[in-house]
Structure 1
């Protein structure tokens, strides 16, 4: 047991790292390379991968604390992590705002970068916006992922309390909350200006919590990975194929039959089941985590996990090390991916933005993100301290080993998956 916890599960780090790289590319406006990210060929995208892996990693990082130190210390650790993410969100906002102000002041471009991010209100009504920013009632769209993550983290103690009644009670509660969100549409305000129309958080935490806790429950061993079945694999492949056909590139338009079928599906999904006159298509957006997006992501995850079963070492080879390093430094790398997306948008606007120029800028941006990840890893290793012999893993590692083993043979080191 002790030996297994000395190694990180490469799948956790690899897919988190891949998600951060995709997020970087996807958040550069008018980016030609972004046309070729996985999101353009299916229903789900890197957000689903990020949220699921965050839940799985949280189960590994905090599950052992709940099991060995008790409910209240586990909850304290969760709240401390939520506080860290809260501070990170504020730092990200102010850093990006200052960068955009500097770009407007010092660089030539036709774009007003503050307006592009819809941050004018913060400058026009700073007092009210500042209160909204700190209370998370003012959430500009570019800064909407971390607030959702904070709220979901705050749900972990409730999940764990229910799981003490029955291992599946917590996850059942998540399903009930997801269904209730469809019926009642719980929304958190993202605008504080009385002169503006109501706008909800883009990522509704009451919907996205389901994917987070799917990963969390699998990590804790409450949910089991379905056994490999050819018929199930065929269903997954079929759903993925449908996602490709009905992707944004409109392959469905090549066939009248596919076009008609698509129209029928849209009508079905937008049907007003409640009969209250509301536009039910709202529910099927990304904001409320369309059930089709969940199924599409789980189909991909099922095939990938079984394809890598017994072959996990391929993700530890040299070619994968930069991606793994990005995944190991989760929160700061995510923040830098968002920052770099704005920096390289500004830099690309100083050029003609030809296809080759955009490809080159994307390569350099990803290289920068990887370099930052390695720098962060080096700093976290405390290179200024004398080397000490490795210590025996803490008792908490046993709880983490139990969680990580649900998904593979190797497990992240204690506390490193946060």
Structure 2
């Protein structure tokens, strides 16, 4: 993602590797979290805080949407051109969603002819067969682990109206209305989009999660006025740090690790479907500390940070490949055991696959941006050549 310069058109945009690196880390954690038997998921974000990688992904989706489309509107590009870009992106998300659905259902159908498949793999759409296909195609039926891209599509379709409201009535009003809708859903979780496969509705309730997306958009606007970083406040950073410490102590699986339970408060796990306040505050605190910290900028520039940024720059392809890695990892560990050999095989092969996808996409992007070489005899690159 590019950071926004302090003066319009005067300073060239610099790519903000913090956003890419943070998104890359979130994508890898999402991949690990979706393989329950993987020992690595004991070390992911969800074990040290209320929120997990999904909240980071959606917040950064809002942030990136402003950088990709909000700035385009602001530069007075033709409205229809920007809307067309948004439409193409939504269509791309939809196509990737359908590819994942087809591959996942086909894989499970084939796999269970050779090895037993636990009941949790047998999503209801398998039992209904092709009768439910149109529901899946129309996003009325969202299979498990395949529910975040539909949320992204809905949120992105609302970006143009959101931009118009931000320009028309201002940020405080938009945040107030968006926050009020989120609060209303938390008070009445029945307010949700229908899901034919789940009577409770969409696993990520769009009416609640839109608030996180809007906060990401507004965060990008604010950072754009401060050379790409959120304004640094020691007091606010201290509050965020203290909250994350509380979140860690409250969320860490003490007893699973053989420790005494040190949680200071007895409370249920905050509801993810409606984006409970504890989860929202957790991801916002983390994001503020990263996006306001010069040290985070330095870390994002290291070799490890650049590797994570490589994954983050190609989030859709990495998410899709990671979802399929999740599926095959779960099937392999379920069918052939969860010993150390299989753990190493699943994690190493999965990481290599994701790295291969990221590097190939990076090479394709570099090739697309490379200026075309001049044709022989001084002809310009775009001039047609005679003959075959």
TM range (shorter): 0.7 to 0.9
Aligned to 1:156: 159
Give the CA deviation at 1:130: 1.0
Once the two structures are superposed, what CA deviation does each residue of 1:220-259 show, in whole Å capped at 9, x if it has no partner?
338977643333333222211211221151479946xx66
C-alpha change, 1:187 and 1:97, in structure 2 (3 Å) is: same
Aligned to 1:177: 181
Aligned to 1:31: 38
Aligned to 1:348: 333
State the alpha-carbon separation in 1 of the partners of residues 36 and 117 from structure 2: 11
C-alpha change, 1:49 and 1:174, in structure 2 (3 Å) is: same
1:57-72 map, 5 Å: 57-67=64-74, 68-72=76-80
Contact kept, 8 Å, 2:223 with 2:230, in 1: the verdict is no
Aligned to 2:208: 207
1:207-226 map, 5 Å: 207-221=208-222
Q: 1:326 aligns with which of 311, 315, 328?
A: 311
Q: 1:187 aligns with which of 192, 208, 219?
A: 192
Contact kept, 8 Å, 2:105 with 2:126, in 1: the verdict is no
State the alpha-carbon separation in 1 of the partners of residues 342 and 328 from structure 2: 15
Give the CA deviation at 1:184: 4.3
Aligned to 1:147: 150
1:8-87 map, 5 Å: 8-67=15-74, 68-87=76-95
C-alpha change, 1:18 and 1:130, in structure 2 (3 Å) is: same
Q: TM-score, normalised by structure 1?
A: 0.77
C-alpha change, 1:352 and 1:181, in structure 2 (3 Å) is: closer
State the alpha-carbon separation in 2 of the partners of residues 124 and 166 from structure 1: 49
1:387-398 map, 5 Å: 387-388=372-373
State the alpha-carbon separation in 2 of the partners of residues 200 and 287 from structure 1: 9
Contact kept, 8 Å, 2:17 with 2:306, in 1: the verdict is no
Structure 2: unaligned runs, 5 residues or longer:
1-8, 375-388
Once the two structures are superposed, what CA deviation does each residue of 1:136-175 show, in whole Å capped at 9, x if it has no partner?
1111121111111111112212211211213313333321
Aligned to 1:414: none
C-alpha change, 1:380 and 1:227, in structure 2 (3 Å) is: closer
Aligned to 2:107: 99
Give the CA deviation at 1:385: 8.2
- Calculate the aligned-residue CA RMSD, in Å: 2.9
Higher relative contact order (Cα pairs below 8 Å, separated by 6+ residues) = 1
Report how many residues are paired.
358
State the alpha-carbon separation in 2 of the partners of residues 236 and 139 from structure 1: 35
Q: TM-score, normalised by structure 2?
A: 0.82
